[in-house]
Chains A and B, each alone.
Chain A
Amino acid sequence: MLKRALRSPVTRRVSETVVTLFGVAVVVFVMLRAIPGDQISASLGTEAAALTPGQRADLESYYGLDQPLILQFFKWIGNVLTGNFGFSAQANKSVLAMIAQSLPVTFELALLAIVIGLMLGLPLGMLSASKQNSVRDAASQAVGLAGLSIPGFLLAAAMLAAVAQLFHYNPNGQAFATLLQDPWLNIQQMFMPALVLGFGLAAPIMRTARTALLEVRSQDFVRTARGKGAPPRRIQYVHVLRSALVPIVTMTGLLFGYLLGGAVVVEQIFSVPGIGRQVLTGINQKEYAVVQSSVLVIALVFVLVNLLTDLLYRVIDPRVRAL
C-alpha cells in the first residue's frame, strides 16, 4: 500500500512541487547575495562609507548579515515553513502582510488581462482559421504581430500620457482602491493596465488558437459532422472549438503564471501596488526577506495554476479522464 501511495500521481505531483520550490528558493537566495552591496549600503547609500567598523558590525548583526550564508538560508526556510516570511523595515510590516495585500492585486490584474486577451485573441484566432491564407487570415495575424511587437511599457506610457493629456483623466493618479474598498474606482484603475497586458497576450492566444483550430478542422469527425448536415455554427463551437481548447488552455495557464511576476513594468507605470512591484522595490532596497519570500509565493502560485490547468484538461477532454 505504501508503494502504491508513493507511486500515485498525487504523491509524484507533490514531490515535484516541493523540489521545484526548493530549487527556486536556492536560486533566489544565491542570486540576491551575488549582487554587490547589501541592505546596509542599499539603505544608507554612499553614507555607508562613513560608518565605523563598530557601527557596521552592529548593523550587520541587526540585519542578520553576520551569520554564515548556509545558516541564513535554512533559518529563512525554517521561518517560512512556520509562517514567518520575514519583516520589512522599510514598510514596517511583516512580509506575509505585504504579500496578502499585493498578491490579490496582481491576481486581479492578471485575471482581467487574461479575459481581455481571450476576448481579443480567440475571435481573431477563429477568424484567422476560418479561411486559411485569406485576407482575413493575414489581417488577423498582423494584429497579433502588432500585439507581440509593441513593447508593453511603450504602449502603457503612451496610453497614459495620451489619455491624461487629451481627456484630463487618470484614475491611476489617485490613491489605489481595492475591489472591496471602491469597486468602481478599482475597475477604472485596472482597465488601462489590463488592456495593455491583454493586448500583449492576445497574440500568442490568437496564434495558438489558429493552429489548434486548423488542425482540428482537418480531422475526420469534423468532416463527418459537416456531412451529417450540422449547422456551421454548431460545428465551429461544439465540435471544433471544444476540441481545440486543450492547447489554448495550456497557453492561457502559462501566460497567467507569467503575469504574476511579469506585470511589474505595467504595475510601475500605472502605479498598481502588485507583487511584481513589491519584488522590484525589495531588490532595489536589498530587502532580502521581501524578495525571497515574494518570489517563493509567486512560484507556489504558478505551480498551483499549472495544477488547475491540468485539472481543467480532465473537464474539457474526456480522453484525459480515462487515463
Chain B
Amino acid sequence: MQRASRAAAPWAAMTGIVVAVALAVSGCSSSSAPSPASGKVGGNLVVGMTTDVLSLDPWKATQFQDVYDVLPNIYGTVTELDKNLNVVPGLAKSWDVSKDGLTVTFHLRSGVTFHSGAPFSSADVVSSFKKIMDPATAAVARTALANVSAVSAPDAKTVVLALGSPDASIPAGLASVNTAILSQKGTEAAMAAAPNGTGAYKFKSRAAGQSLTLVANADYWRAKPTLGQIQFRVIPALQSIVSAMQAGNVQLATFDDPIVAKTAQGSGIQVAKTLQLSYHVLQLNATKGDVANKDVRLAVQCAVDRKQVLDAAALGAGAITGPFTPPVYKSDPSDQPCPTQNLTEAKKHLAKAGKSSGVTIKTIVSQGEYSTSVNEAQSLKAQLAKVGITLNLEVLDSNAYVAKWIAGDFEAAVALNGGSPDPNTMYGRYFTSTGSLNKVAGYSSPTLDKLFVEGRSTSDVTERKAIYKKVSEQLVSNAAWVWLFTGYNYTATTSGVAGFTPMVNGSTQFLRETTVSK
C-alpha cells in the first residue's frame, strides 16, 4: 500500500517555501528540549493528521492514516505485531500449525467483548474471515487468506483454518487491521456510522473533515488503556500541525517530511525517528520497451547512485535499502551487482544489450503523492544521463499516476511502496507469475515462483530468512527493480507525552500505553 496521503502532499511545496521563515523564527527563541515528564493516566491526547479518515471499514481501508493511525486503536486482530514486528498473540492467545502445514488452529482468549458489549467468540472470527474471503466484499486483505480453503469453529474458543497449500505468512497477515475481527451481527452501514471493535479505544464521535474522537475501552482485554480520550484532529497543512503543537493544541503527530521534522525539532518539540517499512524504488517493467532487456536494467542499476538520490531528494533522512525492509528479513543493501554507482559497468551492460548509443525509458512520477517523488525522479534522470540512459519523465497528479500504475502502463515508475512484516506478503503478489500485482511488477520467473512457494511452506524463521535472501538475490541480480532507500517516520510529541512507542510500520497501537500530562 502506498503511503498516499501522509505528507498532505499538495501543500508540501508551499510548506517548503515557508520553512525558511519558520526556521528563522525558531532561531529567535530558546530551542532547548524540555525533559519529558511522566504523564497522568486518563489524560486526553490530541493527534494531528493531515487528512480525514477515508473509511471506518477496516476491511476496505487503504489510506495510511486509516490503517495505521486510527483503526488499530478501535479494532482487534487475531494476531498482532510487537515493537520489532514479530508476530505475537492478539485475540488468539496461541496457535498451532499441523506438521503438513495445511491446518492452522487458533485458540482464542476468554473475557473479550466488543464495544457494544456483545461477547467475542469463534463465530465472529469465522464470520469475519468468510466475509473477507468473499469476493463480493472487495476486502483489501483477501489475498492474505488466499490459501485458506475452509474456516470452521469446533467450539467457542477455537478457529481452524484449512489451507490448500502451506502458508507461513498467514499469522503475520492476520495482524493487519485489514483482517480485523468484526461482530457477526454488525452491518456495513452500522459500522460506517459507529465502528464496533474490540480495540483499546471506542468510537465516540466524528465531525467529518475535522476530527474523530475515541474514548478508552474500560473492558479492554489487556491492561486498561492509559488515555481517557484520543482526538484525531484534521489539520491539512503539515506545518500548521507543528504550529498547533507549539501552541499546545496538539500533542502528537506522525509524518515523513524531514524538513518539517527539522522545523519541529527547533521549537522544543521532541521528534523521534524510525526507519520505515515502505521503500522508495525505481520500478522497471520488464515486459515493456528497452527495459525488457536484463542488461539494460542492470545498466540502470549500475548507473544509479542511491546515496546521492537519498541526499538530494530526502536530505539524507533515511538509509539505502535492498528489497526486504522488515527488521527480521532485512536485505543487505550492498548485496547487489552494483552496490554503488559504477558508470563503467553500466556502459558495459548497455553495450552487451546492443544499446551503446543509449536508451529512452518512459517513466511515470507522481506529483503530490509523497513529498520527495519529483526530486528523486530528477536526481535519477541526471545520474542515468551520464551513461546515455534518458528517463523521459511524465509527472502526473496522484489520481492519474495511480491509474497508470494499476494498469502497469509504464516502462518505469518512481514509486513509494508499502512494506510488510512478512516477506511473502511484501512481494508474493508482485513477483510471482500468478500474483495479483504481477502486471504492475513486470517481472517474474520460475525460480522466484519456486522460492515463494518454499518460503510459504515453512514457519521456521531461520529457514525463511535463507529462502528470502535468495529471493532478494534473484530480484537484484536480474534488476527487476532498482531499490533506492527507506525514509524515516517521524513522531513528534510535546513535552507532556510519555510512553508512546513508534513502530516501524507506522502503527499507533501503542497509544494504549501512552500518557499525557496537562
CB-CB contacts below 8 Å: A178-193 with B:
none
Q: A interface, by DSSP: helix, strand, loop or mixed?
A: helix
Q: Given the complex of chains A and B, what is the CA–CA distance between A35 and B249 in angstroms?
A: 37
Q: Give the chain A neighbours of B210 by CB distance below 8 A.
A: 175-176, 273
Known: A154-B17, A157-B14, A157-B15. A277 touches B397 (CB 8 A): no
CB-CB contacts below 8 Å: B223-246 with A:
231, 233-237, 239-240, 242-246
Q: Given the complex of chains A and B, what is the CA–CA distance between A54 and B135 in angstroms?
A: 8
A164 touches B247 (CB 8 A): yes
List 5 interface pairs A-B (beta carbons < 8 Å), by A numbering: A41-B403, A160-B243, A165-B246, A269-B14, A284-B399
- Partner pick for B1 among A41, A45, A269, A284, CB 8 A cutoff: A45
Whether B267 sits at the interface, judged by CB under 8 Å, is yes
Q: Which of A84-92, A123-131, A203-211 contacts B (4 or more CB under 8 A)?
A: A84-92
- Partner pick for A271 among B62, B235, B429, CB 8 A cutoff: B235
- Partner pick for A164 among B21, B233, B244, CB 8 A cutoff: B244
Whether B86 sits at the interface, judged by CB under 8 Å, is no
Q: Give the chain B neighbours of A90 by CB distance below 8 A.
A: 52, 54-55, 208
CB-CB contacts below 8 Å: A23-59 with B:
35-37, 41-52, 54-55, 58-59
Q: Which of B22-30, B90-98, B376-384, B505-513 contacts A (4 or more CB under 8 A)?
A: B22-30
- Partner pick for A278 among B26, B209, B244, B396, CB 8 A cutoff: B209
B406 touches A173 (CB 8 A): no
Whether B4 sits at the interface, judged by CB under 8 Å, is yes
What are the 8 closest A-B residue pairs judged by CB atoms, nearest first? A173-B244, A173-B249, A91-B208, A170-B247, A164-B243, A37-B399, A157-B18, A36-B400
Q: Give the chain A neighbours of B397 by CB distance below 8 A.
A: 35
Q: Give the chain A neighbours of B429 by CB distance below 8 A.
A: 50
Known: A41-B399, A269-B240. A166 touches B28 (CB 8 A): yes
Q: Which of B314-322, B432-440, B454-462, B472-480 contacts A (4 or more CB under 8 A)?
A: B432-440
**Residue of B whose beta carbon sits closest to that of A169:** B247
A37 touches B11 (CB 8 A): no
Q: B30 → chain A, closest Cβ, in Å?
A: 11
Q: Give the chain B neighbours of A153 by CB distance below 8 A.
A: 14, 18
**Residue of A whose beta carbon sits closest to that of B250:** A173
Whether B393 sits at the interface, judged by CB under 8 Å, is no
**Residue of A whose beta carbon sits closest to that of B400:** A36
Residue tally, chain B, CB below 8 Å to A? 75
Q: Which of B125-133, B136-144, B150-158, B293-301 contacts A (4 or more CB under 8 A)?
A: B136-144
Q: A interface, how many residues as a size bin?
A: 35 or more
B233 touches A47 (CB 8 A): no
Q: A44-B140, A46-B440, A173-B250 are in contact. List 12 more A-B contacts (CB 8 A).
A: A36-B403, A44-B62, A45-B1, A49-B406, A49-B440, A55-B138, A164-B246, A166-B29, A173-B244, A173-B245, A268-B11, A270-B240
Contact string against A for B residues 386-430, beta-carbon threshold 8 Å, 1 for contact and 0 otherwise: 000000000011111011111110000000010000000000010
Q: Given the complex of chains A and B, what is the CA–CA distance between A41 and B408 in angstroms?
A: 14
Whether A82 sits at the interface, judged by CB under 8 Å, is no
**Residue of A whose beta carbon sits closest to that of B402:** A41
Q: Given the complex of chains A and B, what is the CA–CA distance between A158 and B440 in angstroms?
A: 42
Whether B37 sits at the interface, judged by CB under 8 Å, is no
Q: Given the complex of chains A and B, what is the CA–CA distance between A53 and B504 in angstroms?
A: 34
Whether B248 sits at the interface, judged by CB under 8 Å, is yes
Known: A36-B399, A41-B403, A168-B247. A158 touches B21 (CB 8 A): yes
Q: Give the chain A neighbours of B250 by CB distance below 8 A.
A: 173
Q: Give the chain B neighbours of A47 by CB distance below 8 A.
A: 1, 62, 140
- Counting chain B CB atoms within 10 Å of each CB, the highest count among A59, A98, A174, A278 belongs to A174
Q: Given the complex of chains A and B, what is the CA–CA distance between A237 and B48 in angstroms?
A: 50
